[in-house]
Amino acid sequence: MDSYKRWVRRNRDYVHSLESLANGLTWLLPERFSDSEIGPEAVTSILGMITALNEHIIDTTPVQTRTGGGEPLSFPFSLCITLLKDLETLVEVVAQQLYGEENKWNFIAITEATKVLLRLAVLQKSGYKMLLHGGESTNDGRDSDDFDARRNEFASNPGQHGVSGVLSNNHGQDPYNLEGRALFALNRFGENARTVTGPSWLHRVQHQEATMEPPTTVSETPTLYTLSKKGTPGGLFFMGEVLFILRPLIYVLLIRKYGARSWLPWLASLVVDLIGNGSSSLVSVLWHNSNVFHLLNLEKHELKRRKLLWVLYLMRDPFFTKYTSQRLAGTQKLLEPVPIIGLLTEKLVELLVGAQTRYTYMSGS
């Protein structure tokens, strides 16, 4: 296993290209959306799980610190969520074939309940920060734009911050970046050169580094009490995250009781989404300049991503059967005489209609 990890980390670009090609070809598998064929979905799920494991191996590449140690290990909740999402379509197809259309919702509900527990664990572990991509990405409380801003600041005034200051503010991101390694080597060279100039210089450098890199302290684990001290924005944010996590489970439980063709699950899911996203967006708008509560750029992008998922309501029954399917059929008929475009449109509509039959493709969870 260690040999495989080393190979994946050394050949990350090749692995990414191969995975993208394999995952793209799965859409062309025969009988991809057949009710009786489990094989294509099994292939898709296995490829997705392998991709997730490879990404986890690359993301957890050990970063050596000055003391020679690596990053602390923890239970990979995010990886479990990704693997479960890759597996849930296969669970749906197998349950439908073995137990029927009505009973498959029991297994889907179990899958969604498991994801709820994992996401609540991620939410608590992160200190009640916004979940990124449903908990599949780690929210460490830092913006992706931080390093670029600090790098520009260093370029405009390198004497004020120094190489060591820039490196200390990199937060360990992208350890294989050539520029980062060059700056690190330059910093080490400078430190070695200072050691021969006298004890006073060495003492000054050590004092400067100690000032720029204060010792890390163990932070207190956040609780609902510490979150509640943020007042109204904290409460709205927490409510929005909990509703975002619970929405898929609520939707499935209502479908299990009233059926997929009922408007009640569709409307209830939409209302939960509106309230949840509305609460988080309200925090972003009203308290964006407040010291009490502040959303990172990554979190603002996540809110936009969640709103884009509302498009899936057009593909969910009963809205799809009543409205969307007719529009797709009309568009296909209109473009059918056009060479090439008509053929591509027919294939696209076929894929959309087939994907719509799978809950897990349209759940947005």
- Calculate Rg over the CA atoms of the chain: 25
Bridge partners of 269, per DSSP, are: none
Q: Per-residue b/e over 148-177, b at no fewer than 16 CB within 10 Å?
A: eebbeebeeeeeebbbbbbbbbbeeeeeee
Written as tens digits, the pLDDT of the chain (365 aa) is 677 777 667 767 766 676 666 666 665 655 555 555 677 777 777 877 888 787 778 777 765 444 444 444 578 888 899 899 989 988 998 999 899 988 999 999 999 999 999 999 999 888 888 899 998 888 877 765 554 444 445 444 544 444 334 334 444 444 444 444 444 444 444 444 444 444 444 444 444 544 454 544 444 444 544 554 566 777 888 899 999 999 999 999 999 999 999 999 999 999 999 999 988 888 777 776 666 667 788 888 999 999 999 999 999 999 999 999 999 999 999 998 888 998 999 989 988 888 898 898 898 88
**What's the pLDDT at 15?**
67
What is the rounded CA–CA span in Å between residue 78 and residue 74? 11
Provide the residue ranges of all domains of the chain, joining segments of one domain with +.
1-126, 146-212, 230-365
The full 3-state SS of 64-124, as one line of letters, equals: CCCCCCCCCCCCCHHHHHHHHHHHHHHHHHHHHHHHHHHHHHHHHHHHHHHHHHHHHHHHH
In this prediction, residue 236 carries a pLDDT of 84
Distance of CA 362 to the CA centre of its chain: 17
